[in-house]
């Protein structure tokens, strides 16, 4: 991290905490024609490995499984920072950038447990409730791992950093906090009557 390097953190605990709270990873790669793509995906984490999955038919999955360099970023937005000057407006955030190369997990049992990790990352407790993938479903899915060897976190907290000359301006300054709102679980339209709401759905929090 070069700009505002004091906001950088290379500690695994910080990086892991941001990855564990995030839900969407933006996965960037350059395809064979030189065209960069940044694609949103869900993900999971297993120790120092980031886990991704998708259809075997997906161009992105095939390209990454072939060993293309990849950059993955996860961002949590914590607030809007309103300064007295337009220049010093900012956002409070926690973000991670991972650089590396993805590898396809070809071993069926490792791939299955990586998929469980991804599901558990999204909805803790869900793998104990839902049907496990069949061999056919596993064969339709590419599971990739990206080592968290080259990764950085960047974090901004606190209020606006206005110029001393602007502190006397008659302009409100401060932070509008942002967080993810969780709604009440909505049953599927074709749910059989009498099935109670899943504990994992009731327990979901951020």
Ligand X SMILES: Cc1cc2nc3c(=O)[nH]c(=O)nc-3n(C[C@H](O)[C@H](O)[C@H](O)COP(=O)(O)OP(=O)(O)OC[C@H]3O[C@@H](n4cnc5c(N)ncnc54)[C@H](O)[C@@H]3O)c2cc1C
Q: Which residues bind ligand X (CB under 6 A)?
A: 24, 39-42, 53-55, 58-60
Minimum CB–partner distance for residue 104 and ligand X (Å): 13
Report which residue's Cβ sits closest to ligand X: 54
DSSP secondary-structure letter at 191?
Answer: P
Distance between start and end Cα atoms, the chain: 28
Minimum CB distance to ligand X smaller for 42 or for 198: 42
Strand 90-101 and strand 69-82: pairing? antiparallel
Q: Under 8 Å CB-to-CB from 25, ≥6 apart: which residues?
A: 40, 41, 42, 43, 50, 52, 72, 73, 74
Element (H, E) at 12: helix 12-21
Provide, rounded to whole angstroms, the least separation between the CB of residue 43 and ligand X: 7
| Closest distance of CB 143 from ligand X, Å | 10
Closest distance of CB 6 from ligand X, Å: 31
Angle at 66 between CA 61 and CA 67, to 5 degrees: 105
Q: Of the two residues 45 and 53, which places its CB atom closer to ligand X in the complex? A: 53
Rounded-to-integer distance, Cα 137 and Cα 56, Å? 10
Nearer to ligand X, 81 or 119 (CB): 119
Q: Which is nearer to ligand X, 90 or 141 (CB)?
A: 141
Nearer residue to ligand X within complex by CB, 55 or 157:
55
- C-beta of 59: minimal distance to ligand X in Å? 4
Contact present, 22 and 75 (Cβ < 8 Å): yes
């Amino acid at each position: 991290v070069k700009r505002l390097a004091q906001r950088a953190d290379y500690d695994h605990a910080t990086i892991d905490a941001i990855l564990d709270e995030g839900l969407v990873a933006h996965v960037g790669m350059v395809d064979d024609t030189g065209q960069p793509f940044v694609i949103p995906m869900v993900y999971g984490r297993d120790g120092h490995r980031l886990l991704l999955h998708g259809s075997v038919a997906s161009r992105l999955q095939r390209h990454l499984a072939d060993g293309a360099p990849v950059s993955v970023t996860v961002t949590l937005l914590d607030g809007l920072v309103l300064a007295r000057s337009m220049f010093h407006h900012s956002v409070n955030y926690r973000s991670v950038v991972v650089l590396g190369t993805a590898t396809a997990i070809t071993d069926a049992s490792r791939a299955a447990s990586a998929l469980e990790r991804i599901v558990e990352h999204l909805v803790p407790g869900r793998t104990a409730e839902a049907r496990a993938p069949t061999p056919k479903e596993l064969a339709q899915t590419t599971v990739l791992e990206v080592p968290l060897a080259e990764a950085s976190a960047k974090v901004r907290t606190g209020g606006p950093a206005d110029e001393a000359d602007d502190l006397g301006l008659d302009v409100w300054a401060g932070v509008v906090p942002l967080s993810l709102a969780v709604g009440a679980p909505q049953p599927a339209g074709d749910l059989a009557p009498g099935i109670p709401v899943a504990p994992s759905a009731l327990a979901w929090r951020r």
